[in-house]
């Protein structure tokens, strides 16, 4: 590795740290600008006095000027202390980790659905370019893209839970039921909701990438050499089109989190997204900031990881 490379890595790393810093400042300022106060949850408590309230505010550090609060918080983040929840004094990092599994499971299930459907639709569209099936997949993509997540979720709940009673309306489990089947039944609707609205991302990119490869001479040549269609589709088309999908995935995967925000709320799914909204309602600054930073780090890690995987997977970049 030459000094140029080291410089590049340093610059890239520095840039990403700077980005995180900006996100944290913007988040912190916006959060405190927003109306409402974490103390409001205490004001209505019986026997609450102004003195007692000031005492609580002091304990939370809310009596300090904003820049001192920020620096204090920043120092904590850097030293591994993400603070404690205003609501129950539990450590923020612990709260995030405890909500992580639900979001990851929902995200993976949604990803599996959207990736399979999206790649399949994109591939079909490219292979049937200009014919009916191409138009059908395009229209389906546009419709799915235009559907608001919360609306689709509510429709699913109404149709499949309220009307048909096939699936529960929300949460991860029913009381007293800890079985895997029960869990999967709870997972089905939120995963389908989040998965379906994410289909267009994959299908449109896949349609484009596969279409580009189909236009290349190599497909015609492979046919001229007598290779089977199946082999050409899997080995040339799928492989060639999935490769540029890796960087797309790096950019897109974190947006599952924002999608989860809505989906988790609609389906009372106890993940990071619902944690964020709940904490926002309580003006639980440490938790909100913690989730924000956690997501920001995830976004940066995801795109970096995608770059590395892309580099490793594309033989042209290795050579």
Partner 1 sequence: MTRKTTSPLLSVRNLTVSFGGPDIVDDLSFEIGHGEIVALVGESGSGKSVGSLAVMGLLENADIRGSACLAGAQGAGGDTELVGLPARQMRALRGRRISMIFQDPLSSLDPLQTIGSQIREVLRAHTPLKGPALRARAIALLEQVGIVDPEGCLTLLPQRLSGGMRQRVMIALAIAAEPDLLFADEPTTALDVTVQAQVLRLLKGLRDQTGMAMVFITHNLAVASAIADRVIVLYAGQVVEDAPAEVFFRRPAMPYSRALLSAAPRLEAVMGGYGHLEAPRGQVPSPGQRGTACRFASRCDDVREGVCLAAMPPLVSIAGPGETNHTVRCARWEELAP
Taking CB under 8 A as the criterion, which residues in 242-301 touch partner 1? Answer: 243
Nearest to 170 by CA among 191, 148, 144, 190: 190
Residues in the interface with partner 1 (CB under 8 A) total 23
| Minimum distance of partner 1 from residue 183's CB (angstroms) | 40
DSSP per residue, 103-167:
HHHHHHHHHHHHHHHHHHHHHHHHHTTTSHHHHHHHHHHHHHHHS-HHHHHHHHIIIIIIIS--S
Site membership for partner 1, residue 316 (CB under 8 A):
yes
Of 21-29, 91-99, 151-159, 235-243, the segment contacting partner 1 by CB under 8 A is 235-243
Nearest to 16 by CA among 301, 291, 308: 301
Which neighbouring-strand residues pair with 281? none
| Minimum distance of partner 1 from residue 1's CB (angstroms) | 23
Of 5-13, 103-111, 157-165, 215-223, the segment contacting partner 1 by CB under 8 A is 215-223
Among 216, 255, 258, 281, binds partner 1 (CB under 8 A): 216
C-beta of residue 167 within 8 angstroms of C-beta of residue 161: yes
Among 52, 178, 235, 311, binds partner 1 (CB under 8 A): 235
Nearer to partner 1, 232 or 293 (CB): 232
Among 179, 228, 255, 258, binds partner 1 (CB under 8 A): 228
For 206-228, b/e burial (b = at least 16 CB within 10 A) is: bbebbbebbeeeebeebeeeeee
Nearer to partner 1, 173 or 229 (CB): 229
Site membership for partner 1, residue 222 (CB under 8 A):
yes
Both tokens of 23, joined, read 């996100």
Site membership for partner 1, residue 181 (CB under 8 A):
no
Site membership for partner 1, residue 218 (CB under 8 A):
yes
Of 144-152, 203-211, 218-226, 254-262, the segment contacting partner 1 by CB under 8 A is 218-226
Among 220, 308, 311, 312, binds partner 1 (CB under 8 A): 220
Task: Round to whole Å and give the CA distance between 110 and 191.
Answer: 5
Site membership for partner 1, residue 225 (CB under 8 A):
yes
| Minimum distance of partner 1 from residue 297's CB (angstroms) | 33
Coil, helix or strand at residue 72: helix
Coil, helix or strand at residue 174: coil
| Minimum distance of partner 1 from residue 249's CB (angstroms) | 18
Task: Round to whole Å and give the CA distance between 262 and 272.
Answer: 11
Tell the burial category of 31 from Cβ atoms under 10 Å away from its Cβ (0-12, 13-18, 19+).
middle
Count of positions (residues) in the chain = 319
Of 17-25, 87-95, 113-121, 224-232, the segment contacting partner 1 by CB under 8 A is 224-232
Which residues bind to partner 1, rule: CB under 8 A? 216-218, 220-229, 231, 235-236, 239-240, 243, 314-316, 319
């Amino acid at each position: 590795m030459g000094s140029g490379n080291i410089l590049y890595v340093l610059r890239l790393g520095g840039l990403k740290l700077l980005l995180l810093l900006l996100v944290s400042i913007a988040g912190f300022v916006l959060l405190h600008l927003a109306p409402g106060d974490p103390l409001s949850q205490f004001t209505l408590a019986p026997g609450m006095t102004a003195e007692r309230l000031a005492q609580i505010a002091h304990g939370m550090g809310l009596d300090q000027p904003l820049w001192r609060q920020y620096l204090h918080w920043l120092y904590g983040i850097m030293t591994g202390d993400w603070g404690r929840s205003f609501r129950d004094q539990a450590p923020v990092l612990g709260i995030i980790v405890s909500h992580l599994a639900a979001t990851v499971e929902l995200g993976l299930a949604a990803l599996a659905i959207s990736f399979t459907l999206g790649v399949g639709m994109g591939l079909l569209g490219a292979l049937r370019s200009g014919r009916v099936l191409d138009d059908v997949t395009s229209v389906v993509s546009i419709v799915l893209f235009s559907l608001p997540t919360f609306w689709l979720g509510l429709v699913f709940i109404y149709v499949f839970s309220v009307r048909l009673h096939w699936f529960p309306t929300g949460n991860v489990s029913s009381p007293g039921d800890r079985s895997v089947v029960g869990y999967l039944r709870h997972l089905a609707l939120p995963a389908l909701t989040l998965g379906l609205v994410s289909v267009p991302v994959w299908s449109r990119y896949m349609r484009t990438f596969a279409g580009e490869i189909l236009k290349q001479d190599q497909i015609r040549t492979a046919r001229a050499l007598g290779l089977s269609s199946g082999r050409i589709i899997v080995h040339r088309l799928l492989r060639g089109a999935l490769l540029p999908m890796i960087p797309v995935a790096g950019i897109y995967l974190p947006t599952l989190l924002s999608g989860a925000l809505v989906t988790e709320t609609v389906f009372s799914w106890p993940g990071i997204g619902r944690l964020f909204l709940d904490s926002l309602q309580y003006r639980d600054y440490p938790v909100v900031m913690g989730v924000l930073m956690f997501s920001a780090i995830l976004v940066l890690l995801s795109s970096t990881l995608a770059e590395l995987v892309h580099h490793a997977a594309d033989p042209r970049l290795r050579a």
